[in-house]
Each structure stands twice: as C-alpha cells, then as structure tokens.
C-alpha cells in the first residue's frame, strides 16, 4: 500500500498526529493499515474513550499536561524473559512502572473506559525497585537490596578514608623534604637538577627518566598503603558479589513479571495511540468512519494536504461530496479540473479509516478492503515513453493479481501512449473491474473515448464556470492574476456524466480567456464538437 499512501499524502496529514511513547512513535512510522474490521473498530472505540477522558479533564489543564508528561517519560523496557537483567534495564523497568502508575491515576480518576490496572507481579516488582529510596528517574543497588551491603560499603568508606590519610601524610612529607606538591596527582615531571637520587630515596620517591632534562617522580607506596589497598580490593569483590546476588534476585522478580509487563506496555501503547487520535480529532474536527457499507458515501470530506496548499496560496477549497455504488467508477475531467484530487481524497479517507484514524469529513461510510493500491505517477516520477508505459503496466499487474476485495485507483492510466490505444486499454480494464469480485476501482482520465460498460458509473468534474469566469476576468490584467481568477471559478464537484453529453472543453475555454486568437479558438471549438480534433477522444 506504499504507493497509495504516498499518492494520498497521508504522512503530511499525520505529521499533526503526535503519539508520545516509544511504541506510539513506532506505530506512526510503520504505516500500518489493518484489514480486520474488529481491530479497526476497537481503535475507534479507544479514540472515543480518549475523547471522553480529555473532555472530563478539560477543566483541569494541569492533569492533562501531567498525563502527557508521564507518556513522554516512558522508556523502552526489555520485554524478553531471561535469567538476568543489568542495573540499567531494571532502572528502565522502574521508570516505566512509575510513569505507568502516573498515567493510571489520571486515566482511572475519570471512571471512563480506558482504565489501567497494575497486576500482582508487576506491583511487587515496582515496590521492590522503589525500595532503594531513589526517585523515579534514578536507580542504584542500595544497601536495602542485600543484608551485607551496608557493612561492606561502610568498611569501604573506612578504608578509603584511611588511604586518603596515608596519602596525605606521604604528600606532606615530600612537600617538606623535597619541596614537591603532588596535590593528589599520581606523578610529577621535575627538572633533573632539582632532585638527586639520594634525596628522592629519602623522601620516599621513585624516579624514572622522562627526557634529557626531566624525571617522572612518583610516591613510593608504604606498607600501610599496600595493606589498605589489598583490603579495599577484597571489599570491592565482596560488594560486587552482593550486588550480583541482589541483581539475580531482582531479575527473578522481573522475569516472573514479564508477561504482566508486556501487557502493561501494550496498554500504554494502546492508550497513547488513542490519546493522540482523540487530540487530532478534536483539533481538526474529525469524525468516526462507518465500516458497514458496500457503497462508499462521502460528505464534506476535506483532503487536508490540498486544503492547506489552497490556504497558503489564497485559493478557495471545496470539500468533496460523493456516493459510489459501482465496482468501477470513471472520473472525467480536464487536466486542471480536480479529478486527481478527488481520487486522492478517496484513497486518503480509506487509508486513514483502515489505519484506525478518524477522518476529516462530516461523514464517511465504506467497508474494509483487503488491499488498497494505486496505479499511476507519483510525485518526483516522470513516466514517459515506453519505459513509463511499462512501469504503469507493471503497477497494474500487481494490483490486478490481488484484485479480490481490493480498492484501486488509476490516475491518468496509459497517459504515455496514444489516446486511441489508451482508450481501448482503459475500456477493457474498466469492464474487467466492473464485473466485481468484491473490488472497487476508480479511474481518473481526460480520455473521453472510454467505452460505457455495464456495472460501471461515469462521473465528471463540473469544471470551469465559463460564464462567471468570463464576466469576472479582466483581459488586461497580468497573466498571474488572470490564472488566479480562472482558478477561483473552477467547480471541483462530481456530477453525472451522461453518454453523449457535451460538457465542452475547459482547456479551450481557458485558452480563449487567456487571449488565444479568436479565429483559432473558434476553429478549435468547431473541431472539438465535430470530433475531428486529430487525437480521438482526447478532451484536453
């Protein structure tokens, strides 16, 4: 579904969808589109419940901010059951469980559907990880985790203090006898003439050549210092053994809690997606799709990326209203008439709906499709000549092979070949899809010679309001201004296209409005009406 997703510019819309947890962010980049109606409806239910939660906390912005804060603080945690976890992994579990309890307290306070429970093994693990006394943002193996740790660490503190005292006394002696101040350093570089061998030995120093004019001077360890160092190594080994025993015990608890921890992570991820979906729905006025109809009903649907483009350019945008009952739907229109945007809007709504999102429409009723595909040119591609046609056929073959239960959109299919061949090929494909097999196909094309077949419906973009455009247009205005004026009078609406109807040519009308020689314009219109325009059936 990647091509369809890119064509429908879904990522641009979902840039405003902001999950806060690591798992929610994973879901955002995964582009997951479900084909299971039950799981999709469950996502909708979650968004409804999250909207109710946000509404319940609307008068308490501090709690709403706190809810987001806890979700943002969620770390990734190891979710595989194994014999041992290190201190960093246990810290991640502690931080997760602390923020989980924060989310639970706020979510459960409203009594709404999205509720959290901390299962027994997870609760025991959380309590044990908290026993060290540090806050939720830190963890270390405190004395409380092993009966011998306090005594061992106390002895280490004593030995370290004694070592510091021995060292200080040795540094003081050298300072007095040799005039050297180590000040805690392991060695000094001293000039050769400043220190002789006998003086160094008397001061308790060892000398090593450094260069032609300097020595490295080090304090010689005293017997008391060596004894204390040995005792310190023994105590460090005992401390490490105690910490290892404590980690092993905590690891047993973590392994026992792992099924519950996985369930807690899943609950947080689910809640995060629901909260993000609800926030987006409230921000953009989205509605819940209905997945119970073989027909596709669209009311006041906004293709948000193009709506934003229009707002940036100062152009009017018209939402889409449509109902599609046929297995094959052909959309006619000029190259500037909006049929591609209509196609994008359909895929945009369907992909959002099957990704578990509410949609920017007053109503969207559809069903779940097993595959959503796009056949046509994508942004950045330039399909031309034989290679372009081959690429289109390759995309079509992929869609056709898995056509059962699919939704597929064709945008200007076969544009890179002659109009006569294109119309013949399009007619055959429309006819094939019109026979059903539980699929639905949309075809946006400006080729007017596509055959009318049973089971297909034929619509067209209403196009240019030529009378209004002609009255409003200033023939002396700059080109950019005239183009903007023409754009304002394009009617991006779908209407029935009756066989044999003459909707006229938007391209010829626009050319005339832009100052095409009247004689050429009249002759072109005459040829268009008589079907002698040189390229059979090519409207624009």
CATH code, domain carrying 267: 1.10.1420.10
Instruction: Examine residue 151 and state whether it is found in any structural domain, yes or no.
Output: no
Give one DSSP letter per residue of 326-383, joined into a string.
Answer: SSEEEEE--TTSSHHHHHHHHHHHHHHHHTT--BSSSEEE----SEEEEES--TT---
Instruction: Examine residue 290 and state whether it is found in any structural domain, yes or no.
Output: no
State the helix-helix crossing angle for 304-313 and 339-354, rounded to 10 degrees.
130
β-strand 205-211 against 490-496: which pairing, if any? Answer: unpaired
Instruction: Examine residue 155 and state whether it is found in any structural domain, yes or no.
Output: no
Give one DSSP letter per residue of 55-120, joined into a string.
Answer: HHTTT-HHHHHHHHHHHHTPPP---S--S---HHHHHHHHHHHHHHHHHHHHHHTTT-S------H
Rounded Cα gap, residues 275 and 282, in angstroms: 11
Instruction: Examine residue 8 and state whether it is found in any structural domain, yes or no.
Output: no
CATH number for the domain harbouring residue 393: 3.40.50.300
Tell me: do 349 and 484 sit in the same domain.
yes
Tell me: do 318 and 435 sit in the same domain.
yes
Q: Name the one residue in this structure whose structure tokens are 């014999």.
A: 83
What local confidence, expressed as pLDDT, does residue 135 receive?
82
Instruction: Examine residue 7 and state whether it is found in any structural domain, yes or no.
Output: no
> What's the full length of the chain, in residues?
540
Q: Alpha-carbon dihedral of residues 272, 278, 279, 284, nearest 10 degrees? A: 140
End-to-end CA distance of the chain: 31
What local confidence, expressed as pLDDT, does residue 382 receive?
57
β-strand 214-219 against 205-211: which pairing, if any? Answer: antiparallel
Tell me: do 402 and 466 sit in the same domain.
yes
Domain of residue 492 covers 296-530
Rounded Cα gap, residues 124 and 28, in angstroms: 33
Instruction: Examine residue 48 and state whether it is found in any structural domain, yes or no.
Output: yes
Beta carbons of 229 and 163 less than 8 angstroms apart: yes
Give the number of domains in the chain.
3
Q: What is the DSSP letter of 222?
A: P
Tell me: do 200 and 256 sit in the same domain.
no
Instruction: Examine residue 55 and state whether it is found in any structural domain, yes or no.
Output: yes
Joined tokens for residue 261? 């921890």
Joined tokens for residue 363? 């109503």
Instruction: Examine residue 442 and state whether it is found in any structural domain, yes or no.
Output: yes
pLDDT in tens, the chain (540 residues): 888 999 999 999 999 999 999 999 999 999 999 999 999 999 999 999 999 989 888 888 999 999 999 999 999 999 999 999 999 999 999 999 999 999 998 888 765 556 778 889 999 999 999 988 778 888 989 999 999 999 999 999 999 999 999 999 999 999 988 888 999 899 999 998 888 778 788 888 889 999 989 999 999 988 999 999 999 999 999 999 999 999 999 999 999 999 999 999 999 999 999 999 999 999 999 999 999 999 999 999 999 998 898 888 777 788 999 999 999 999 987 666 678 889 999 999 999 999 999 999 999 999 999 999 999 877 555 555 446 777 788 888 888 888 889 999 999 887 777 778 888 999 999 999 998 767 999 999 988 888 999 989 999 877 655 666 566 676 677 776 666 666 665 556 788 887 655 556 666 666 766 767 777 867 776 766 665 444 434 444
Q: Name the one residue in this structure whose structure tokens are 């999709």.
A: 40
Tell me: do 104 and 249 sit in the same domain.
yes
Tell me: do 265 and 405 sit in the same domain.
no
3-state secondary structure of 410: strand
Model confidence over 348-391: pLDDT tens digits? 999 999 999 999 999 999 999 999 999 987 755 555 544 677 77
Tell me: do 103 and 132 sit in the same domain.
yes
What local confidence, expressed as pLDDT, does residue 22 receive?
96
Q: Which of 224, 253, 270 is the last residue of a domain?
A: 224
pTM value? 0.81
Joined tokens for residue 396? 């079509």
Tell me: do 193 and 96 sit in the same domain.
no
What local confidence, expressed as pLDDT, does residue 499 receive?
66
């Amino acid at each position: 579904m990647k091509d369809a997703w890119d064509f429908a510019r879904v990522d641009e819309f979902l840039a405003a969808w902001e999950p806060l947890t690591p798992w929610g962010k994973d879901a955002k980049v995964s582009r997951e589109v479900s084909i299971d109606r039950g799981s999709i409806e469950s996502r909708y239910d979650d968004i409804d419940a999250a909207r109710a939660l946000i509404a319940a906390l609307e008068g308490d912005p501090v709690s709403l901010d706190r809810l987001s804060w806890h979700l943002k603080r969620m770390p990734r945690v190891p979710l595989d059951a194994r014999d041992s976890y290190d201190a960093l992994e246990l810290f991640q579990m502690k931080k997760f469980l602390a923020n989980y309890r924060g989310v639970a307290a706020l979510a459960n306070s409203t009594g709404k559907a999205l509720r959290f429970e901390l299962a027994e093994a997870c609760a025991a693990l959380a309590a044990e990880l908290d026993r060290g006394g540090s806050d939720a943002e830190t963890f270390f193996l405190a004395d409380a985790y092993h009966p011998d740790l306090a005594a061992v660490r106390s002895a280490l503190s004593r030995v370290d203090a004694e070592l510091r005292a021995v060292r200080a006394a040795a540094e003081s002696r050298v300072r007095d006898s040799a005039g050297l101040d180590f000040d805690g350093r392991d060695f000094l570089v001293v000039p050769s003439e400043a220190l002789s061998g006998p003086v160094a030995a008397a001061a308790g120093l060892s000398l090593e050549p450094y260069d032609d004019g300097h020595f490295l001077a080090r304090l010689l360890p005293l017997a008391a210092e060596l004894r204390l160092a040995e005792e310190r190594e023994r105590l460090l080994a005992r401390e490490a053994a105690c910490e290892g025993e404590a980690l092993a015990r905590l690891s047993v608890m973590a392994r026992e809690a792992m099924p519950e921890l996985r369930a807690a992570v899943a609950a947080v991820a689910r809640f995060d997606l629901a909260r993000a979906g609800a926030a987006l729905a409230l921000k953009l006025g989205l509605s819940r799709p209905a997945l119970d109809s073989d027909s596709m009903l669209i009311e006041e649907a906004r293709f948000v990326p193009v709506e934003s483009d229009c707002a940036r350019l100062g152009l009017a945008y018209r939402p889409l209203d449509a109902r599609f009952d046929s297995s094959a739907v052909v959309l006619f229109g000029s190259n500037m008439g909006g049929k591609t945007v209509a196609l994008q809007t359909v895929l945009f709504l369907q992909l959002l709906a099957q990704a578990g999102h509410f949609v920017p429409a007053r109503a969207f009723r559809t069903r779940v499709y097993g595959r959503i595909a796009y056949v046509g040119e994508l942004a950045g591609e330039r399909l031309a000549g034989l290679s372009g046609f081959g690429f289109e056929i390759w995309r079509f073959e992929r869609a056709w092979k898995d056509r059962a239960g699919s939704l597929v959109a064709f945008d200007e299919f076969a544009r890179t070949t002659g109009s006569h061949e294109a119309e013949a090929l399009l007619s055959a494909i429309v006819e094939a899809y019109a026979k059903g097999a539980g699929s639905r196909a949309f075809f946006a094309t400006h080729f007017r010679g596509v055959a009318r077949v049973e089971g297909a419906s034929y619509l067209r973009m209403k196009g240019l309001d030529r009378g209004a455009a002609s009255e409003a247009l200033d023939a002396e205005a700059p080109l950019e201004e005239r183009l903007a004026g023409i754009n304002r009078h394009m009617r991006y609406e779908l209407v029935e296209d009756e066989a044999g109807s003459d909707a006229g040519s938007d391209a010829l009308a626009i050319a005339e409005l832009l100052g095409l020689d009247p004689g050429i314009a009249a002759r072109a219109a005459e040829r268009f009406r008589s079907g002698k325009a040189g390229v059979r059936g090519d409207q624009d």
